[in-house]
């Protein structure tokens, strides 16, 4: 879909995913790294536990379908080469702190003078403007500043960040979508524009709208491991199984109370609760609590009753019962269970890319969407450091071998 378009991806340790999304959609994405490679390449884990800039799984996870060049943008000759590439580019993505690219003469205003059609995408922690624009960041800082951190962890201790960094995945995905919106406008007007993406703003979506609670007078959500607290309620979603955990929707009301009622009938059949508990008004249970006809203590008691029951069954047994009895129970999958998942296999989700430097192919997670007429294809493995320098600087910009050698010796490429 984007095969006619060229993207210059200047992102370093944050924002690579934006370029990969555009590359998966068919764009010719050229990853521009500093000489020696992106800092991401030095982040593990590494293939076969061998640290190397071309074996980082962090790098591989966000840079497929790209070509790769090296270029020192703090060198005048490097900036001149980038200007030549910008002249024929359609998008440019960068993730430097506000002001860095302007100091280099590579900000939107400078490059729009070279190519007025350029869609210039900036991915930063807090955006280009405002009192926090120049603040340092980390995934922990951004999740704290955007709201999601407050919901993660146990109720009786400080909040916890997720094990895998999330903030720039949100920001990069929003940046890719916003770049395509700007491209749609360019198709009409012929003009490019500056897309300013704040990771702090992007992660607010991960609060599932609870960020709006204060504005509308709704009780703020509280963190509860495996659930959420709302006002006096402690809503639990994760329950133990004999071999791990399952997600159980143990809720009430006309939309989901029927599932809770069926679950309680099954538990009663197995001797896990008495008839009085089984026959409660599970559809009207929430309303009865707020009316004082049921106690919150009774909610907590029945949640523990469900937990005592689920821990006696394996995840597979609970899932099979859910399918047979029409219950809302789903296993919490491990990494290995995701890799071996029969549904993903049936949909040919996993894709392989050859890695000649490893003398073997590597299996990658599949495309983020299935498109019938224009399927997303994995055309390239992630590039090695400077893999396409000769192809782009020589073949496209016309630099001869002697000039390439001089630029290499001078640390420009």
Over range 262-285, report the average pLDDT: 96
| pTM over the 0.85 mark | yes
User: Helix axis angle, 257-269 relative to 296-310, nearest 10°?
Assistant: 60
Closest by Cα among 66, 31, 67, 65 to 351: 65
Q: Determine the 3-state secondary structure of 170 from DSSP.
A: helix
Write out pLDDT tens, residues 233-251. 778 899 999 999 999 999 9
Contacts of 361 (CB under 8 A, 6+ apart): 352, 353, 354, 355
Pairing status of strand 227-230 against strand 233-236: antiparallel
The sign one gets for the Cα dihedral 59, 60, 64, 68 is: positive
Distance of CA 356 to the CA centre of its chain: 28
Q: Is the pLDDT of residue 224 over 80?
A: no
Q: How far is CA 69 from CA 36, 91, 141, 280, in A?
A: 10, 16, 31, 66
Q: In what order do the strands lie in the sheet with 28-33?
A: 66-70, 28-33, 6-9, 91-94, 119-124, 194-198
| Percent above pLDDT 90 for the chain | 84
- Looking at residue 156, its pLDDT comes to 84
- Average pLDDT score over the chain: 94
Q: How far is CA 180 from CA 18, 74, 174, 364, in A?
A: 11, 29, 10, 25
- The model's confidence at residue 189, banded by pLDDT at 50, 70 and 90, is very high
Over range 75-91, report the average pLDDT: 97
Write out pLDDT tens, residues 284-321. 998 998 889 998 899 999 999 999 999 999 999 999 99
Over range 266-294, report the average pLDDT: 94
- Looking at residue 150, its pLDDT comes to 87
- Looking at residue 162, its pLDDT comes to 84
Rounded Cα gap, residues 400 and 406, in angstroms: 10
- Looking at residue 320, its pLDDT comes to 97
Rounded Cα gap, residues 261 and 302, in angstroms: 12
- Looking at residue 356, its pLDDT comes to 82
What the block records as the tokens of 296 is 């919150």
- The model's confidence at residue 206, banded by pLDDT at 50, 70 and 90, is confident
Rounded Cα gap, residues 383 and 366, in angstroms: 18
- Give the HSE-up count for residue 138: Cα atoms under 13 Å, Cβ half-sphere: 6
Q: Structural domains in the chain? A: 6-206+348-409 (3.40.50.10540), 237-333 (no CATH)
**Contact assessment for residue 42 and residue 53, using Cβ atoms and an 8 Å cutoff:** yes
Write out pLDDT tens, residues 330-351. 999 999 999 999 999 999 999 9
């Amino acid at each position: 879909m984007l095969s006619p378009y060229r993207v210059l991806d200047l992102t370093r340790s944050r924002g690579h995913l934006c370029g990969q999304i555009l590359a998966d959609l068919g764009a010719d994405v050229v990853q521009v790294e500093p000489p020696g490679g992106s800092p991401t390449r030095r982040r593990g884990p590494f293939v076969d536990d061998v640290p190397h800039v071309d074996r980082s799984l962090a790098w591989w996870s966000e840079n497929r379908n790209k070509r790769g060049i090296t270029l020192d943008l703090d060198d005048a000759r490097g900036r001149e080469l980038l200007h030549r590439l910008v002249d024929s580019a359609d998008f440019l993505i960068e993730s430097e702190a506000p002001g860095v690219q302007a100091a280099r003469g590579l900000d939107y205003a400078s490059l729009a003078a070279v190519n007025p059609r350029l869609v210039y995408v900036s991915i930063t922690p807090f955006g280009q403007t405002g009192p926090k624009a120049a603040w340092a960041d980390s995934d922990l800082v951004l999740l704290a500043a955007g709201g999601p951190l407050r919901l993660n962890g146990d109720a009786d201790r400080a909040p916890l960040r997720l094990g895998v960094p999330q903030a720039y995945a949100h920001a990069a995905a929003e940046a890719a979508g916003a770049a395509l919106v700007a491209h749609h406008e360019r198709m009409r007007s012929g003009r490019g524009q500056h897309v300013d993406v704040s990771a702090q703003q992007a992660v607010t979506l991960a609060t599932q709208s609870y960020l709006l609670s204060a504005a509308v007078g709704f009780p703020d959500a509280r963190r509860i491991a495996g659930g959420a607290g709302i006002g006096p309620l402690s809503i639990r979603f994760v329950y133990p199984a004999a071999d791990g955990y399952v997600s159980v929707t143990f809720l009430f009301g006309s939309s989901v109370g029927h599932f809770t009622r069926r679950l309680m009938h099954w538990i009663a059949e197995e001797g896990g609760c008495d008839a009085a508990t089984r026959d409660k008004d599970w559809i009207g249970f929430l309303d009865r609590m707020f009316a004082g006809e049921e106690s919150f203590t009774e909610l907590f008691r029945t949640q523990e009753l469900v937990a005592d029951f689920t821990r006696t069954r394996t995840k597979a047994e609970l899932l099979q019962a859910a399918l047979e009895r029409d219950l809302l129970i789903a296993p919490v999958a491990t990494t290995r269970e995701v890799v071996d998942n029969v549904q993903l296999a049936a949909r040919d989700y996993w894709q392989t890319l050859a890695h000649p430097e490893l003398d073997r192919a590597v299996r990658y997670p599949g495309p983020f969407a299935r498109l019938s007429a224009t399927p997303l294809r994995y055309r390239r493995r992630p590039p090695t450091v400077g893999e396409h320098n000769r192809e782009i600087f020589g073949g496209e910009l016309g630099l001869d071998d002697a000039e390439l050698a001089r630029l290499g010796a001078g640390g420009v490429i």
